[in-house]
Structures are given as structure tokens and as C-alpha cells.
Structure 1
Amino acid sequence: MTSVAPDAREKRRHRQLTTTIRESLREMNIQMSLLNRQVGTHLGLKDADLACLDLINREGPLSPTAVASRSGLHPATLTGILDRLERGGWIARERDPADRRAVAVRALRDRNAELFKLLSGMNSSMNKICADYSVTELEVLADFLDRTTKAGQRATDELATG
């Protein structure tokens, strides 16, 4: 019988867990995409519309150029998305008082209750999951997710700039 050194076992376990985490993140991405598709279907929004609305809700008001840049969408494509969101009462385009030529896109909060209602099941599930972790464990998870998000942003930027 071959004995495996503790360091070798530890390294193998580390690789296995890293692989499991990467695969879990991929599966989570798929599930979140499916959830977003269902939410969008209920609201009459396309996937890209919902993603842009979320971006504007979280970071807005933003210029259309900033929305296009942050979403990775072509400006002409974004124009159609903003038109649909504006017609649906989700956003407003407003002139910048400091520069009358500039436009800012702002989320209208009136319809957010519809969005929150559709996401309430997932939010409740997340609250229950997080309740099982200590504050210290949640800090580790929050750090991991923050660092993973930043790594994704860097990878996206690298691909976008060629």
C-alpha cells in the first residue's frame, strides 16, 4: 500500500475543491440566467433589457455610453434596449443640467416592486442559506465573491480590448 504524504493529500484536496467551486459557479451562472429569463418573461423584458435595467438601478444615473461600455453592448443595440425600457416605464432619459447635450439614464423606481416580487423567492432562499453561516464565514464568502467578481471583470476587459 502506497502512503501519500499529508502535503500531497492537502494539495490534491485543494485542487479538487477548486474544481468543485469553479463547476459550482458555472452551474450557479446557468441557474441565475434561467431565473433572470423567467423574471424577464414575466415583465416582458429580454435578457439584455433586464441586465441593463439592473446595471442602471445599481449604478445609475449613467450616460448611454457608460451603459453600453459597462454592459459590453454596441451603442446601436443599447439604443433599442433603452427605447424599450423607457416605453415600459422602467427608465427615463434626462438632459444633464450641467451639459445640455449630455443625457443621463435614470431608473424609475415605480415598477421595482414588480421586480422585487418576482425575485422574492430567491431572496428568501438566500436569507435562509446565509442564516446557516457565522459572521466570520459570511465575511470569507463575501470576500471570495468580491474577488471572483473582480477577476471576471478583468477577464471581460481583457477579452474586450483584445
Structure 2
Amino acid sequence: MPKIISSGAPGPVMHDPRLNDPEQELVRTGDLAPGELESVLEVLEAMRRWREAEREHSEASQRYMRLSESDMRALRMLIAAGNQRLPMTPSAMAGQLGISTASTTKLLDRLERGGHVVRRAHPDDRRSLVIEVTEETRHAARATVGREHARRFDVIAELSREQRRTVADFFDAMAATAQRDAV
């Protein structure tokens, strides 16, 4: 009987190809040396735990700040631009976020009503506006998302240079599989 790796919660096993693809139509497990499949499944299970923890953290941050995912993404971008002293215009935001200018206007209206951003005259072009995050929102973001990112940085910094290269290569290869599937 195959070893089933799960989080302890009842339900179907998601990552074991012996159970989900027993005919090896998609995943060729027969080519792996004994014990290798369990090692691969451990990585897949760790990835699942990471995605779940990330999703839970993101949802908790959104609830805490009473914002949607797109609002949080916009604030992260605005905070980064502010930290780098880069003026962010609504049209630049639209380009960075990959959304229309009309959607950007609605997003900014929501964020402004919520007290998260202010619109100011552009420092170099008075015909244009720049968007800035309020101090209250900046502090709230640092207290939630910022601390989480700092902990992640510490975990990564503890790895050796070679381990970091391996992890970065792994994530790049995983991102490439998602890009191929999106086509």
C-alpha cells in the first residue's frame, strides 16, 4: 500500500500519482529509484503546506485591513514605490497592475474612501496626480505583511549560497511549468 502523505485532515490525497494517475499517463513514477517517489511527495506536500499558509495569511491580512486581494496588491506596490521615492501616477499604477485606467480609478476611489491612500499634485507635473499610502495604512501593512516578509527573509538568509541558488532555480522551474500550462 502506498504511503499517503496528508495534513491529517480527511479527504482525498492530492499529490500521490500512484493514487491519482495509477496508469502513469501523466506522471512516470516507474522511472524513479526506490524511495525517490516519497522524497518527491514530501516536496509536493511541503509546497501544499506553504501555499495553504500563504493563502491563510493573505486572507487574514485582507480581513484585518478590510481590503480585497487587488487592493492589497496595489498597496504593496504603492508602499514599495514610496520607499523608493518614486512618484506613482494612476496611469503608472494601471500599467504596473495590468488593469485598465477605469479599474484603477475605481480601486483608488475605494482605497481613498477607506483612508488608505491620498491623491496629491505631482511634484514635477502639476497637471498630474501621484498616489501615496497614508501613514496609518503604512504602519498597519508593516505590522502584518512586513513582519511576515521579514521572517521569510530570515529563513532564506540562514541558507547557504548554494542552497539559495537551488531554491531559486526550483521556484523558477516551477514558475516555468505554470507559464507553459497557461498557454
Instruction: Determine the C-alpha separation between the residues in 1 that align with 2:90 and 2:176.
Output: 23
Alpha-carbon offset, residue 57 of structure 1? 1.1
**Percentage identity across aligned positions?**
24
Deviates more, 1:133-142 or 1:144-153: 144-153
Greater fraction helix:
1
Q: What's the CA shift for 1:52?
A: 0.6
- Are residue 55 (structure 1) and residue 81 (structure 2) matched? no
Moved more, 104-113 or 29-38: 29-38
Matches for 1:1-162 after TM superposition, within 5 Å: 28=50, 31-60=53-82, 61-119=87-145, 122-123=148-149, 125-127=151-153, 129-130=155-156, 132-142=158-168
| Distance (Å, rounded) in 2 between the aligned partners of 1:25 and 1:59 | 30
Secondary structure of the equivalent of 2:128?
A: strand
Query: What is the root-mean-square deviation in Å for CA atoms of aligned residues?
Result: 4.1
- The runs of 5 or more residues in structure 2 that have no matched partner are 1-30, 33-38
> Aligned letter for 2:89?
S
**Count of equivalent residues:** 149
Structure 1-normalised TM-score?
0.62
Measured in 1, the distance between the counterparts of 2:54 and 2:133 equals 22
C-alpha distance 109-37 of structure 1, shift in aligned 2 (>3 A): same
Q: Is 2:120–2:131's contact at 8 Å kept on the other side of the alignment?
A: yes
Which whole-Å CA distance do the structure 2 matches of 1:119 and 1:140 have between them? Answer: 26
Distance 1:67 1:145, change over 3 A: farther
Whole-angstrom CA distance in 2 between matches of 1:41 and 1:63: 27
Based on CA coordinates, which of the two structures has the bigger radius of gyration?
Answer: 2
CA deviations on 1:57-82 (whole Å, 9 max, x unpaired) are 11353111111121122222221211
State the 1:51 CA deviation.
0.8
Which sections of structure 1, spanning at least 5 residues, go unmatched? 1-8, 11-16, 157-162
Q: Encode CA deviations 1:23-78: one digit per residue, 9 max, x unaligned.
A: 97787556534422220111111111111111111135311111112112222222
Greater relative CO, 1 or 2 (CA 8 Å, sep 6+): 1
Deviations, residues 103-143 of structure 1 (Å, cap 9, x unaligned): 11122334322222223663465256325511342255456
- With normalisation by structure 2, the TM-score equals 0.56
Are residues 116 and 99 of structure 1, via their aligned partners in 2, closer, same or farther at CA, if it must alter by over 3 Å?
A: closer
